[in-house]
């Protein structure tokens, strides 16, 4: 009975440590993304004018 309790405790401890590391480690990560911002493609689409919008009956 005592072995079963120890095994369960070890499994719970491993899961708790894994969750704790997953939660805390991103706080200590200093990653800088050094990429340029995306630019517009230069393609301009004309906006529809009032005359082009169909009004249905």
pLDDT, mean of each 10-residue run, the chain (57 residues): 94 97 86 79 64 63
Tokens encoding 16:
């708790």
Tokens encoding 9:
């405790």
* Any domain includes 21: yes
Tokens encoding 50:
């009032």
pLDDT at 17: 97
pLDDT at 21: 93
Tokens encoding 24:
């805390």
Which position has the token pair 């050094």?
34
Which position has the token pair 């005359």?
51
Give the domain extent around 18.
1-29
* Any domain includes 34: no
DSSP secondary structure letter of residue 53: S
pLDDT at 33: 77
pTM over 0.75: no
Count up the domains in the chain and report the number: 1
* Any domain includes 39: no
pLDDT at 1: 79
- Angstrom distance (rounded) from CA 57 to CA 54: 10
């Amino acid at each position: 009975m005592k072995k079963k309790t120890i095994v369960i405790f070890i499994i719970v401890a491993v899961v708790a440590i894994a969750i704790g590391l997953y939660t805390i480690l991103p706080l200590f990560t200093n990653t800088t993304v050094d990429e340029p911002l995306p630019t517009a493609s230069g393609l301009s689409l004309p906006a529809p004018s009032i005359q082009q919008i169909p009004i249905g009956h």
